[in-house]
């Protein structure tokens, strides 16, 4: 298997322009498709998750052209539902393509099959399917109940009232929200139980607003959306930098000597993962912000004990940053790590232990206590981009680290190791 060995490194210094947000790129592509008018999207992320969305749009007859090495997309909106009669869509392991497209395809009239990589077929989607069935959709599982592949015979989406469980993934609610304005009547969506990853709903509502649709948000417990609306293209729209991708560079500076300024995310950002910088600050790092940048600088770090349900992706970066902090770090309320690219709770515990760290894996938490000297280990990445990226930080210890299958960062950040090498020194 392909692998890279990094470090030992002693310094992280420089400025980084972070690539576009995955969450915003896929939301904007879908909304631009449903909207009236042509949208010019700049700073689009060029990665596997976005390519799966774009390839699906091509198959569904949507016209767009890519410019600037895939970071600009000029897309002709349909001014309503997707018109295709048929589609057999491969969505890799992109939750932000699979879940929103499942709901959006129900708005039209065609027959569709949605499938993905083997892991996508292990990631639950039953809560979304149940809600779509209540809204009158003919949607079936091809194999195991609750998991893709799915088959849809679309005939529009009814309005009315629907409940959706919020405790597995916020992407199910995001999916229904984005399609709701094109439903046949007004729709009230009630959230059943706890809503995980709540800030991602703010990203959804923000993107919908940019396309001219307002949602009544009743304290994240119910959402009211008027039916029979038309999204309006804003014309030009820029995708802000990816706050989860920024986390690795901010952590690198907080751990190593030096200073890193990340451009593309800042106090103006709509992404919840910007709050990762606040966690670093709580650990002791020096953080400064501007509207579109964040800078981190090293100070002595100490462990924290925090609920990180709102920043599940960036929380993985905290798990490896914890190796450089005094005392124990406990990351709580992250149950849904288990249903992402891999079972992240189990995988993170296994790989952190390989380095010699003391790790406790709970049902919904992980705690990490560092040791003075880490052992050299070959880190397995489980086809999980974030495992590859967050373990690169181990290179700031006195021992090198080997990352197996580093190419898996292509899901959201194909140029990660290139940029990491640019701002780090031995």
Ligand X SMILES: C=C(OP(=O)(O)O)C(=O)O
Q: Which does 94 bind (CB under 5 to 8 A by kind): ligand S3P, ligand X, none?
A: ligand X
Min CB(386)–ligand X separation in Å: 5
Beta bridge partners of 367: 330, 360
- Look up residue 22 and give its two tokens: 């995955």
The verdict on whether 313 is a catalytic residue reads yes
Helices in 256-343 by DSSP H: which ranges?
276-283, 315-321
Q: Which does 93 bind (CB under 5 to 8 A by kind): ligand S3P, ligand X, none?
A: ligand X
- Residue 95 engages ligand X in binding (rule: CB under 6 A): yes
Only segment of 164-172, 221-229, 253-261, 282-290 that touches ligand S3P (CB under 6 A): 164-172
Q: Where are the beta strands (DSSP E) in 303-414?
A: 305-307, 329-332, 358-361, 366-369, 378-379, 401-404
**Distance between CA atoms of residues 209 and 177, nearest Å:** 12
Q: Which does 342 bind (CB under 5 to 8 A by kind): ligand X, ligand S3P, none?
A: none
Cα angle for residues 63, 64, 70 (degrees, 5° grid):
155
Only segment of 40-48, 66-74, 89-97, 200-208 that touches ligand X (CB under 6 A): 89-97
Min CB(249)–ligand X separation in Å: 17
Identify the residue among 96, 404, 409, 424 touching ligand X (CB under 6 A): 96
Spell out, one character per residue from 211 to 250, where the chain touches ligand X: x when CB under 6 A holds, - when not: ----------------------------------------
Tokens 């009669």 -> residue: 85
- 271 is known to lie in a ligand binding site: no
- Residue 317 engages ligand X in binding (rule: CB under 6 A): no
- Residue 197 engages ligand S3P in binding (rule: CB under 6 A): yes
Identify the residue among 21, 43, 93, 369 touching ligand X (CB under 6 A): 93
Cβ burial of 58 (10 Å; 0-12, 13-18, 19+) is: exposed
Q: Which does 174 bind (CB under 5 to 8 A by kind): ligand X, ligand S3P, none?
A: ligand S3P
Tokens 């909106």 -> residue: 77
- Residue 169 engages ligand S3P in binding (rule: CB under 6 A): yes
The SS3 of residue 36 is strand
Helices in 35-180 by DSSP H: which ranges?
48-59, 95-105, 126-134, 171-179
Compute, in degrees rounded to 10, the torsion defined by CA atoms 271, 276, 279, 281.
Answer: -100
Q: How far apart are the first and last CA of the chain?
A: 25
Catalytic residue among 48, 127, 273, 313: 313
Only segment of 59-67, 170-178, 187-195, 315-323 that touches ligand S3P (CB under 6 A): 170-178
- Residue 298 engages ligand X in binding (rule: CB under 6 A): no
Cα angle for residues 143, 146, 147 (degrees, 5° grid):
55
User: Which residues of the chain form contacts with ligand S3P (CB under 6 A)?
Assistant: 23, 95-96, 169-171, 174, 196-197, 200, 312-313, 336
Residues with a known catalytic role: 313
């Amino acid at each position: 298997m392909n692998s890279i060995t990094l470090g030992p490194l002693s310094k992280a210094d420089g400025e980084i322009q972070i690539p576009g947000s995955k969450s915003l790129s896929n939301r904007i592509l879908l909304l631009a498709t449903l909207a009236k008018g042509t949208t010019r999207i700049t700073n689009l992320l060029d990665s596997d998750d976005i390519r799966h969305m774009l390839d699906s749009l091509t198959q569904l007859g949507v016209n767009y052209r890519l410019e600037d090495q895939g970071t600009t997309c000029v897309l002709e909106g349909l001014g309503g539902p997707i018109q295709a009669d048929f589609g057999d869509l491969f969505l890799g392991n992109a939750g932000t393509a699979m879940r929103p497209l499942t709901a959006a395809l129900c708005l039209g009239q065609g027959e569709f099959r949605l499938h993905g990589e083997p892991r996508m077929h292990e990631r639950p989607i039953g809560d979304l399917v149940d809600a779509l069935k209540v809204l009158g959709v003919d949607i079936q599982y091809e194999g195991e109940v609750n998991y893709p592949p799915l088959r849809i015979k679309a005939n529009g989406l009814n309005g009315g009232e629907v409940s959706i469980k919020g405790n597995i993934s916020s992407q199910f609610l995001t999916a229904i929200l984005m399609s709701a304005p094109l439903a046949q009547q007004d729709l009230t969506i009630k959230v059943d139980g706890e809503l995980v990853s709540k800030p991602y709903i703010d990203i959804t509502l923000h993107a919908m607003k940019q396309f001219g649709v307002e949602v009544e948000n009743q304290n994240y417990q119910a959402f009211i959306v008027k039916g029979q609306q038309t999204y309006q293209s804003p014309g030009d729209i820029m995708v802000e930098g990816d706050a989860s991708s920024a986390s690795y560079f901010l952590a690198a500076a907080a751990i190593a000597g030096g200073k890193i300024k990340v451009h593309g995310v800042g106090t103006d950002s709509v992404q919840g993962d910007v709050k990762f910088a606040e966690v670093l600050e709580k650990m002791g790092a020096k953080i400064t912000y501007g509207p579109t940048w964040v800078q981190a600088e090293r100070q002595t770090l100490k462990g924290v004990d925090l609920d990180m349900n709102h920043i599940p992706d960036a929380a993985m970066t905290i798990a490896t940053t914890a190796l450089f902090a005094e005392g124990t770090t406990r990351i709580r309320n992250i149950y849904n790590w288990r249903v992402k690219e891999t079972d992240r709770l189990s995988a993170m515990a296994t790989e952190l232990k390989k380095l010699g760290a003391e790790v406790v894996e709970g049902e919904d938490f992980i705690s990490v206590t560092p040791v003075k000297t880490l052992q050299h280990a070959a880190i397995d990445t489980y086809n999980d981009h974030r495992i590859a990226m967050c373990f690169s930080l181990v290179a700031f210890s006195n021992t090198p680290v080997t990352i197996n299958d580093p190419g898996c960062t292509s899901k959201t950040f194909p140029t990660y190791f290139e940029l990491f090498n640019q701002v780090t020194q031995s």
